[in-house]
Amino acid sequence: MITQQHVNKLAWSVDSWEQPAADTGGDFIVWSRSARTLRVFLGDVTGHDHEAAATARRIRRIIEAGLEGEVDEATLRKWSAALRIIDDDRFLAFSYVEIDVATGCGTIAAAGNPAPIVARDHFGAFESVTPDGMPLGLVDADEWVPPTFRKIKLSIGDSIVCFTDGMTDIRLDDMQSSSGTARVLAALQGTAPQTAVKTLRRNYTAFPASEQQHDDVTVLSVDAVLKRAA
């Protein structure tokens, strides 16, 4: 339960790590913060070449401008239609996080990316937010299915961790089996708030290059922290 005392002490930290498969890639993060709202968007354009990067740059500019206002189903549908115009051969998997910075009330929506993780009580417990709907640009606007906007509440010591599939799709053997989200959860178990990105980066880079999928990898963490005394 978020009390008024907790609300008065809430502050927010955003951390990220990006590793493109080559010298450039299709992953990106954009975020916007006003006096009331923090909005963060993690995107993964299909492909990890120069064409994917070019498409990512163009749709990123549109999304970045859109984050200045309300983000709802209509906003996502507009972005999806814009991507179809930019490049109808690619789609954009995404994770979206919106937080009321004063109260900790927020929203998570995701499609195509691995499930965002809500870590509670200093990474002592975890909840997965199952992605649904369609990635942006997958089909024409009138056929596009939006994700569910799920409501959450965060208190001091809670975090939201999002990542692209490069983080989970690691080849463990000749059958190319994926370690999936279970490995990520195991790595995060017991880690300290504001160190999740560093933990997952260390976990990923511990694998030999030959076992990685050579995909873009991006990790994002939004942490509810104790406000520093003035």
Locate the domains of the chain by residue range: 4-225
- The SS3 of residue 145 is coil
pTM: 0.90
Assess contact for 85 and 72: CB atoms under 8 A: no
pLDDT tens digits, residue range 140-189? 999 999 999 999 999 999 999 999 998 888 755 544 444 578 888 988 99
CA-derived radius of gyration, the chain: 17
CATH of segment(s) 4-225? 3.60.40.10
Are the C-beta atoms of residues 210 and 146 closer than 8 Å to each other? no
Here the tokens at position 29 are: 């993060």
Are the C-beta atoms of residues 52 and 44 closer than 8 Å to each other? no
CA distance 219 to 201: 8
Spell out, as residue ranges, where the chain has pLDDT lower than 70.
1-8, 171-179, 208-214, 229-230
Residue 10 to residue 226: CA distance in whole angstroms: 5
Supply the pLDDT for residue 5: 40
Q: Which two tokens stand for residue 169?
A: 């799709």
Q: What is the DSSP letter of 101?
A: T
Look at residue 228 in the predicted model and tell me its pLDDT.
72
What's the pLDDT at 23? Answer: 79
Q: For position 3, what pLDDT does the model report?
A: 36
* pLDDT tens per residue across span 115-125: 999 999 999 99
- The confidence score (pLDDT) of residue 175 equals 41
174: CB partners within 8 A, 6+ apart: none
